[in-house]
Amino acid sequence: MNGSEYGSLTLDVLAGVGALLAGVGIFVGMLALAKTLARVRTTLDGVDEQLNNIGTPVTSTLAHVDQVTKSLEDTAGTLSRTADLSRSAIAPAIVNVGATLSGVTTGLRRLVTGKDRKAKE
């Protein structure tokens, strides 16, 4: 073997050692990632268990809120109908009161002045 063959052999060995070290580095990195993901899985299992415990009370609370909302909608509808009925009942009465006051005023004017208003015109 001559010097150029040793150089080529050394280069091949060093490239193989470099690839082996890169593989070992990737392996160590993947082991750290596996440990981290195992901890995340444990944490997520705990969160999932807590959410399962909360699910029933939250569902019953939302059902109760839904019932209250429906009740408030019914009450608002009834109140709106009552307001419409009151408005339709009071409006003619106000017109009647206005006509009555006009008639009373005319009558009082005739009584006080002793004259007919139409006679002036």
For residue 118, what pLDDT is reported?
57
pLDDT, position 103: 83
Residues counted in the chain:
121
Which residues does the chain have with pLDDT short of 70?
Answer: 1-4, 115-121
Please tell me the predicted confidence (pLDDT) of residue 107.
Answer: 81
For residue 105, give both structure tokens. 């005023």
Cα 21 from Cα 108, distance rounded (Å): 118
Residue 33 is predicted with a pLDDT of: 96
Q: What token pair was written down for 46? A: 């705990």
DSSP summary character for residue 46? H
From the CB of residue 109, how many other CB atoms can be counted at a distance below 10 Å?
13
Distance of CA 12 to the CA centre of its chain: 65
Q: For the whole prediction, is pTM greater than 0.95?
A: no
pLDDT at residue 86 in the model: 83
Residue 37: what pLDDT?
A: 96
Chain-centroid distance of CA 114 in Å reads: 73
pLDDT of res. 16: 93
- Who contacts 109 (Cβ-Cβ below 8 Å, separation ≥6)? 117
Q: Which two tokens stand for residue 39?
A: 């901890």
List the structure tokens of 43. Answer: 């944490």
